[in-house]
């Protein structure tokens, strides 16, 4: 199954949940936020949210910045 993570195309085996995807990507579960098809998915909903073909996932964190 192909999905897009942060704009990059990725092949996934099976139909993982968002929580499983985060684990597979070895991302820290805290201090990141996730959007699925342009809608924020709350942390408590990650494990119950199954991914589908062509889903677009955005995973963000915080970086140093002031403006612009």
Partner 1 sequence: MSRAVTAVSSEEKLIVAGHVFSSRLIIGTGKYRSYEEMRSAHDASGAEMVTVAVRRVPLDRSSESFLDYLNPSLQILPNTAGCYTAEDAVRTARLAREVLQTDLVKLEVIGDQTTLFPDNEQTLEAARVLVKEGFVVLPYFNDDLIMAKKLLDAGCAAIMPLAAPIGSGLGVQNPANLRIMREQLPDATIIVDAGVGTASDAAIAMELGADGVLMNTAIAEAKDPARMATAMKLAIEAGRLAYLAGRMPKRLYASASSPLAGVIK
> Is 54 a binder of partner 1 (CB under 8 A)?
no
> Is 63 a binder of partner 1 (CB under 8 A)?
yes
Strands 33-36 and 8-11: unpaired
> Is 35 a binder of partner 1 (CB under 8 A)?
yes
Report the distance separating Cα 52 and Cα 30, nearest Å. Answer: 24
Q: Which two tokens stand for residue 56?
A: 């677009």
> Is 29 a binder of partner 1 (CB under 8 A)?
no
- Contacts with partner 1, residue ranges (CB under 8 A): 5-8, 25-28, 30-33, 35, 38, 40, 42-43, 58-68
């Amino acid at each position: 199954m192909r999905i897009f993570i942060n704009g990059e195309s990725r092949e996934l085996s099976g139909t993982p949940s968002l929580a499983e995807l985060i684990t597979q990507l070895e991302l820290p579960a805290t201090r990141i936020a996730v959007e699925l098809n342009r809608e924020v998915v709350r942390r408590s909903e990650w494990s119950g949210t199954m991914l589908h073909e062509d889903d677009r996932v955005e995973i963000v964190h915080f970086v140093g910045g002031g403006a612009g």
